[in-house]
């Protein structure tokens, strides 16, 4: 996973498969970066994610809560169609984080 911080926006470019095992590593990296940089916006870019199970939904929900505590916002961007349905069914659509 690659991250980029510019103008108060931290973007995490996720790739590959997001399952129980990989989600823990992603979570640790994103949280460490967000805690140290204190971005006003965290963007999770899913354009290179090929597979995701419910762990991906948990990953997003946890980052949403973290950003709320930090006084920032979360956007989930570039979601492939096959993954968007999982996000929509999980209720994330109602939080306004899906872009």
DSSP assignments along 58-92, one per residue: HHHHHHHHHHHHTT-EEEEES--HHHHHHHHHHTG
Handedness of CA 50, 52, 15, 9 (dihedral sign): positive
| Stated pTM of the model | 0.94
How far apart are the C-alpha atoms of 62 and 12, rounded to whole Å? 14
How far apart are the C-alpha atoms of 51 and 40, rounded to whole Å? 28
Going residue by residue through the chain (99 aa), what tens digit of pLDDT does each one get? 999 999 999 999 999 999 999 999 999 999 999 999 999 999 999 999 999 999 999 999 999 999 999 999 999 999 999 999 998 888 888 888 888
């Amino acid at each position: 996973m690659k991250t980029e911080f510019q103008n108060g926006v931290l973007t995490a470019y996720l790739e590959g498969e997001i399952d129980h095992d990989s989600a823990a590593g992603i979570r640790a990296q994103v949280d460490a970066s967000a805690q140290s940089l204190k971005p006003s916006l965290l963007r999770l870019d899913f354009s290179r994610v090929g597979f995701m199970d419910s762990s991906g939904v948990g990953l997003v929900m946890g980052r949403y809560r973290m950003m709320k505590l930090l006084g920032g916002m979360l956007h989930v961007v570039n979601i492939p169609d096959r993954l968007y349905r999982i996000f929509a069914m999980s209720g994330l659509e109602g939080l306004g984080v899906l872009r």
